[in-house]
Amino acid sequence: MKLTEPQALNRVAAYCSKAERCEYDVRKKLVAWELESDAIKRIIDRLKKERYLDDARFAKSFINDKMKFNKWGKAKIIFELKKKKISESIYNPVFEELSGDEFEEQLMHILTIKAKSVKGKNDYDRKTKLIRFALGRGFPIDLTIKCVNKLLGGDYEESVS
């Protein structure tokens, strides 16, 4: 669908006002509307000037939402931010504000719930499945092993492949 520059500006401003958006998502939408590159640049510059678009604000909101609602770990959040072309200099300060305890509490919570449904031949098998689950959610191996040991007891070694 081809739009004029004023139509695209109005639509994308409404798009940005509904939720936090990043420049990458907005640019993708403008390209799909078949706008010329100079028009896209003018629209993005105007959105930034009028504070509809702010990658730092987006990163803070994204990190908060993914931690609280999706129960993701730091690695998975960073992976998704990189896919959206958010630079390290933008998201690192947001992670520095967070304490490591928040991730540990969150991991303990999801592991406690998951442990109720995980079946295994023995304790080692159950722990391995829980560790794989936590790693898939983006939590670091050292924190994962610490939480699994705290939850199920014992000393699970870091020699997991």
97-141 pLDDT per residue, tens: 887 688 999 999 999 999 999 998 998 999 999 999 999 999 999
Q: How far is CA 64 from the centre of its chain?
A: 8
Tell me the longest C-alpha to C-alpha distance in the chain. Answer: 64
Same-domain check for residues 108 and 141: yes
Q: What is the pLDDT of residue 161?
A: 43
Are 67 and 34 contained in the same domain? Answer: no
CA dist 121 and 128 (Å) reads 11
> Under a CB-based contact definition with an 8 Å cutoff, are residues 91 and 63 in contact?
yes
Taking the C-alpha atoms of residue 127 and residue 118, their distance in angstroms, rounded to an integer, is 9
User: Is residue 157 included in any domain, yes or no?
Assistant: no
107 CB burial (10 A radius; 0-12, 13-18, 19+): buried
Same domain for 63 and 91, yes or no, is yes
% of the chain surpassing 70 pLDDT:
94
Mean pLDDT of 21-36: 95
Q: Please check the confidence at residue 160 and state whether its pLDDT lies above 70.
A: no
Q: pLDDT band for position 159 (50/70/90)?
A: very low
- Alpha-carbon distance of 91 to 94, in angstroms, equals 5
Please state the domain count of the chain.
3
Range of the domain at 77: 55-97
Residue with tokens 């998502």: 25
User: Do residues 111 and 88 both lie within one domain?
Assistant: no
